[in-house]
A = this chain, B = another copy of it.
């Protein structure tokens, strides 16, 4: 077991000073050609690599960005991470991932921990609990200390920083309009309770699309799922008494549950009922029939967030502060669960 090589050891070995070694390795003109060659050869031979921690301490920057998400076993979030990772890597940054598990306390804990020197900035999506509590002091504090923060997906007006979101309303409208265009006359929606912002926004898009096309808005065709664990049953009962021919589900899971329920009731998708989902995950692609969905482009969101963050990190200190919020467009992915 051979421990890591340091400048000091090279210096001792070659009988020069530490600074000479450092300068030689950086090809400084201060050092004689001969000495430089000798040092470089030695360093290469023994595979010297500078210690990141020491560099971080010296430079007061770590070249790593922290990303805190509510959960990781979730297709959308993994695509976001993937997007972040990709541009971070291109720009020479590392990514450190922490999970809040939708808990406020863990979000605060992780943020505190990483803020003490471990990362240069944050990309994060708020925990559900945090949004309920409406307590964002941990974020504002970190921002006050000069750390850039980028919020994505689950964002909130109270925090002043860069943001990356999708336009849920427009996305939902696209979905419903597609149903209308393909001939659906009676369109229902399976959504979530309103305090989940995406549920609220997507429901709004649904209503707007109907109104703009002079379809009546029937409250009876709007299902708001309270308990995710019991969604399967709720959806089944809802559909039993609604003779819709089009259905917009605000996530993949609901869409799949709906199709299952419909099938059990002897209704075919898409012949009898067209179904459209939100979030383009594994399920949508592989399900039979494959699901027409509104894609959120998590990858692109992650990439945008990383760009925003790194821009802030590398901006000259004299540039003026300004916060952008970029909206990444959703797009409709047509598959088999809707008519053509």
Asked if A95 is an interface residue, CB under 8 A from chain B, the answer is yes
Asked if A146 is an interface residue, CB under 8 A from chain B, the answer is yes
Query: Which residue of chain B has its CB nearest to the CB of A52?
Result: B117
Q: Contact between B54 and A117 (Cβ–Cβ < 8 Å)? A: yes
Q: Contact between A62 and B72 (Cβ–Cβ < 8 Å)? A: no
Q: Contact between A72 and B64 (Cβ–Cβ < 8 Å)? A: no
Q: Nearest Cβ in chain B — how far from A30, in angstroms?
A: 25
Decide yes or no: A52 and B146 within 8 Å by CB, A94-B96, A99-B85 being known contacts: no
Q: Contact between A81 and B57 (Cβ–Cβ < 8 Å)? A: no
Q: Contact between A53 and B49 (Cβ–Cβ < 8 Å)? A: no
Q: Nearest Cβ in chain B — how far from A46, in angstroms?
A: 11
A 31-87 contacts with B by CB, 8 A: 47, 49-54, 56-57, 62, 64, 71-75, 78-79, 81-82, 85
Q: A96 contacts which chain B residues (CB < 8 A)?
A: 64, 94-97
Q: A260 contacts which chain B residues (CB < 8 A)?
A: 288
Q: Nearest Cβ in chain B — how far from A124, in angstroms?
A: 15
Decide yes or no: A288 and B288 within 8 Å by CB, A78-B78, A98-B85 being known contacts: yes
Docked pose: A327 CA to B286 CA in angstroms: 31
Q: Nearest Cβ in chain B — how far from A298, in angstroms?
A: 9
Asked if A272 is an interface residue, CB under 8 A from chain B, the answer is no
Docked pose: A8 CA to B108 CA in angstroms: 26
Docked pose: A118 CA to B95 CA in angstroms: 11
Residue among B56, B145, B253 making CB contact with A4, cutoff 8 Å: B145
Q: Contact between B72 and A81 (Cβ–Cβ < 8 Å)? A: yes
Residue among B3, B263, B282 making CB contact with A145, cutoff 8 Å: B3
Q: Contact between A73 and B64 (Cβ–Cβ < 8 Å)? A: no
Q: A117 contacts which chain B residues (CB < 8 A)?
A: 4, 51-54
Q: Nearest Cβ in chain B — how far from A98, in angstroms?
A: 7
Q: A144 contacts which chain B residues (CB < 8 A)?
A: 1-2
Interface flags for A274-293 (1: CB within 8 Å of B; 0: not) read: 00000001110011100000
Docked pose: A259 CA to B114 CA in angstroms: 46
Query: Which residue of chain B has its CB nearest to the CB of A259?
Result: B288
A 194-238 contacts with B by CB, 8 A: none
Asked if A303 is an interface residue, CB under 8 A from chain B, the answer is no
Residue among B94, B106, B259 making CB contact with A118, cutoff 8 Å: B94
Q: A241 contacts which chain B residues (CB < 8 A)?
A: none
Interface flags for A115-127 (1: CB within 8 Å of B; 0: not) read: 1111000000000
Interface flags for A167-197 (1: CB within 8 Å of B; 0: not) read: 0000000000000000000000000000000
Q: Contact between A73 and B79 (Cβ–Cβ < 8 Å)? A: yes
Residue among B116, B263, B287 making CB contact with A52, cutoff 8 Å: B116
Decide yes or no: A51 and B286 within 8 Å by CB, A2-B144, A73-B79 being known contacts: no
Query: Which residue of chain B has its CB nearest to the CB of A77?
Result: B78
Q: A51 contacts which chain B residues (CB < 8 A)?
A: 116-117
Q: A50 contacts which chain B residues (CB < 8 A)?
A: 116
Query: Which residue of chain B has its CB nearest to the CB of A71?
Result: B82
Closest 10 CB pairs of A and B: A53-B117, A96-B96, A52-B117, A97-B97, A51-B117, A73-B78, A256-B286, A49-B116, A52-B116, A53-B56
